[in-house]
Amino acid sequence: MRVLQGEALWPPPVWLMRQAGRYLPEFRAMRERADFLTRCLTPEIAVELTLQPIRRYGMDGAILFSDILILPWAMGQSLEFVDGEGPVMAPIRDEAALERLDPARIPEATAPVLEALRRLRAILDAPDGPGGGNTTLLGFTGAPFTVACYMVEGRGSREFASVRQMAYAQPELFERLIGLLEETTAAYLGAQLDAGAEAVMLFDSWAGLLAPDQFQKHVIEPTRRIVDRVRAGRPQARIIGFPRLAGLSLPEYAARTGVDVVGLDTGCDLNQVCELLPPQMGVQGNLDPLALLAGGQAQADAVTAIRERLRGRRHIFNLGHGVLQQTPPEHVAALVAQVRAA
Ligand code: 1CP
């Protein structure tokens, strides 16, 4: 939280994207007891899964156990998590399908998520609880473009060609979808902050698939409007933006969206980042998840390089994308110990 509020800390704080996940045996044990949506929508389970990596590693950030697809699900789009395949939804390809989405359902459908945040905040604020009263509680959503990718495609994809084609071929329909997501995302992030999240993160995992002018229109502009709306009633709201694979559009994203900290993906060259982003801009990242999978000296060298290169900057140590399922949990312990060494 201190880095989000403007301080540069040494050593930097650390948490990891997908820190609650299948690489943890205690997560796999819970997985056998309930399907994915049930885990997201049962406060006891979501709280427990959020806390697992805090208990094990004492991470500085606890990210709510949930998913970016909860929002379209809450508006009535069907969603199923299929083993070995990931999310499957009834794709939205025309006006009629878009019309069937009902944002009025969101508050009731997401009530269990907000309840989980309330409970987590009470647990994490306790000085004798997990995290010792020092762990920042992070809420999140997907950013409009990335959520639209899944809503239109109906499943994961490497290219998300259907959604990118819709942006050119049916611009009105696409812009209505992005507009709907912009509005509902801002409201949902606000509700998460009001329920106890101390900061929120916008995951734009597929932002880098867009051509530059489309990136401007469907990533930067909606993000800026979401940030403005969230802050309208909450000037103190702290927001992390993660425009994955943004490449040369990263400086403009950092300058124009108003996010407090920008997430760096694995491919970001830190020398360029330091040159192109203003010195007061906060950054989060960006260890290669494959280095964490490999462990040993290669991991240690990569951690040292990142830590040292960003020394003196507002930096939150993290990966460049999520923890991979095959990652040995000891590698994460070694990472945290090394990041925290004085
Ligand atoms: O139990 C399981 O096997 C389900 C795997 C899983 C998990 C652990 C999914 C399905 N979602 C999650 C949790 C999750 N998802 C979190 C929780 C907090 C944490 O980080 O520990 C977060 C922040 C997300 C965000 C998310 N979901 C993103 C953005 C980040 C990213 O990875 O790029 C995306 C794209 C999704 C969609 C999604 N949900 C689940 C899967 C397998 C996917 C990806 C599908 C694909 O391949 O495109």
- In the annotation, is 100 catalytic? no
pLDDT of residue 31: 85
CA 78 to chain centre: 22
> Residue 242 and residue 102: Cα distance in Å, rounded?
27
Top-confidence residue, 41 or 83: 41
Mutation pick for ligand 1 pocket among 40, 65, 67, 318 (CB with most ligand atoms within 8 Å): 67
Domain total in the chain: 1
> Residue 212 and residue 195: Cα distance in Å, rounded?
36
Q: Which of 290, 295, 288 is nearest to 332 (CA)?
A: 295
pLDDT digits 0-9 by tens, 243-271: 999 999 999 999 999 999 999 999 999 99
> Residue 148 and residue 217: Cα distance in Å, rounded?
14
> Residue 31 and residue 33: Cα distance in Å, rounded?
5
- In the annotation, is 57 catalytic? no
Residue 130 lies in a domain: yes
User: Among 30-34, 64-68, 228-232, 293-297, whose mean pLDDT is lowest?
Assistant: 30-34
Q: What share of the chain is helix, strand, coil (3-state, %, to 5)?
A: 50, 15, 35
Q: Which of 78, 194, 209 is nearest to 143 (CA)?
A: 209
Cβ of residue 89 lying under 6 Å from some atom of ligand 1 = no
183 phi and psi, to 5 degrees? -65, -50
108: containing domain: 25-254
* Atom of ligand 1 minimally distant from the CA of 66: 17
Q: Please, what is the average pLDDT of the chain? A: 97
Average pLDDT rounded to a whole number, residues 14-24: 97
Q: Is 233 exposed, middle or buried (0-12, 13-18, 19+ CB in 10 A)?
A: exposed
* Atom of ligand 1 minimally distant from the CA of 63: 18
Concatenated DSSP letters for 130-186?
TTTT-PEEEEEEE-HHHHHHHHHHSB--SS-HHHHHHHHHSHHHHHHHHHHHHHHHH
**Span from the CA of 155 to the centroid of ligand 1 (angstroms):** 12
Residue 299 lies in a domain: no
- In the annotation, is 22 catalytic? yes
Binding residue per annotation — 150?
yes
Residue 291 lies in a domain: no
Residue 308 lies in a domain: no
> Residue 338 and residue 60: Cα distance in Å, rounded?
14
Q: What is the CATH number of the domain that holds 67?
A: 3.20.20.210
Cβ of residue 86 lying under 6 Å from some atom of ligand 1 = yes
Residue 180 lies in a domain: yes
Average pLDDT rounded to a whole number, residues 136-150: 98
**Span from the CA of 317 to the centroid of ligand 1 (angstroms):** 20
- Per-residue DSSP letter, 309: H
pLDDT digits 0-9 by tens, 204-223: 999 999 999 999 999 999 99
> Residue 200 and residue 63: Cα distance in Å, rounded?
9
Q: Which of 285, 295, 293, 192 is nearest to 244 (CA)?
A: 285
Residue 307 lies in a domain: no
Ligand 1, atom 31, residue with closest C-alpha: 205
Cβ of residue 155 lying under 6 Å from some atom of ligand 1 = no
Residue 324 lies in a domain: no
pLDDT digits 0-9 by tens, 292-315: 999 999 999 999 999 999 999 999
> Residue 165 and residue 275: Cα distance in Å, rounded?
34
pLDDT of 290 > 90? The answer is yes
Residue 90 lies in a domain: yes
